Copies of this chain bind each other. A is one copy, B any other.
């Protein structure tokens, strides 16, 4: 009775099981296709049961959004071993880019979609955007250390960090949303899309290098 066993396991912590099921559907079909009914079918419960554990779909979106931040911060772990702050900043950018491309659905949920944010606007989730802030702080700290090493002198640290993040965020979204592909389509110089993405990043790195 594999199904029954699974059901018992589910009951132990149904909230987590719902999230797991949501994640499964989400990864296989994207957020758009992740309906309450599909999640319910996955765990063999009624759709309305989900509302006993999550206030609404936004709260599930927020939970997935948190998962995404856990993933990203794990990938950021390796940065601790990069001593030179500017090298660390570059590595950070590359990790961020890679994450955005390889987990574009998560990226969407973390930085583009409004649904997960609505969750703590509607009072579902108590905390503020701790995950996002932590990630941003890591960037601010690295930039601060770059400044101590002679880079970006005369720039207000927070504003500069926002510029850097904006650039990376803009580039990643333009890539994953297809605008980059459309723009580059007939531009002879940057024929390959992959190149446009990488070249733009490298160009940005050159810009930063010039600010020493």
Q: Are B136 and A183 in contact (CB under 8 A)?
A: yes
Interface of A is mostly: helix
| A207 interface contact, C-beta 8 A | yes
Provide the residues of chain B in CB contact with A114, threshold 8 Å: 177-178
In the complex, what's the smallest C-beta–C-beta distance from A99 to chain B, in angstroms? Answer: 15
Contacts A129-B185, A182-B117; A200 near B163 (Cβ below 8 A): yes
| A102 interface contact, C-beta 8 A | no
Provide the residues of chain B in CB contact with A150, threshold 8 Å: none
Task: Give 1 or 0 for each of A165-181: 1 = CB within 8 Å of chain B CB.
Answer: 11111110110011110
Contacts A163-B200, A168-B170, A182-B129; A189 near B158 (Cβ below 8 A): yes
Q: Are A112 and B177 in contact (CB under 8 A)?
A: yes
A143-178 contacts to B, CB under 8 A, are 154-156, 158-160, 162-163, 165-171, 173-174, 177-178
Q: Are B170 and A203 in contact (CB under 8 A)?
A: no
Provide the residues of chain B in CB contact with A133, threshold 8 Å: 182-183, 186
| A204 interface contact, C-beta 8 A | yes
A-side interface residues, number (CB < 8 Å): 48
CA distance A206 to B162 in the complex (A): 13
Contact of A200 among B136, B162, B178, B183 (CB under 8 A): B162
In the complex, which residue of chain B has the Cβ closest to the Cβ of A152?
A: B207
Could you list some 23 contacts between A and B, CB below 8 A?
Answer: A114-B177, A128-B185, A129-B182, A132-B179, A132-B182, A133-B182, A154-B206, A155-B206, A156-B189, A159-B199, A159-B202, A159-B203, A162-B200, A163-B167, A163-B171, A166-B166, A166-B170, A166-B174, A166-B200, A167-B167, A167-B170, A170-B171, A207-B211
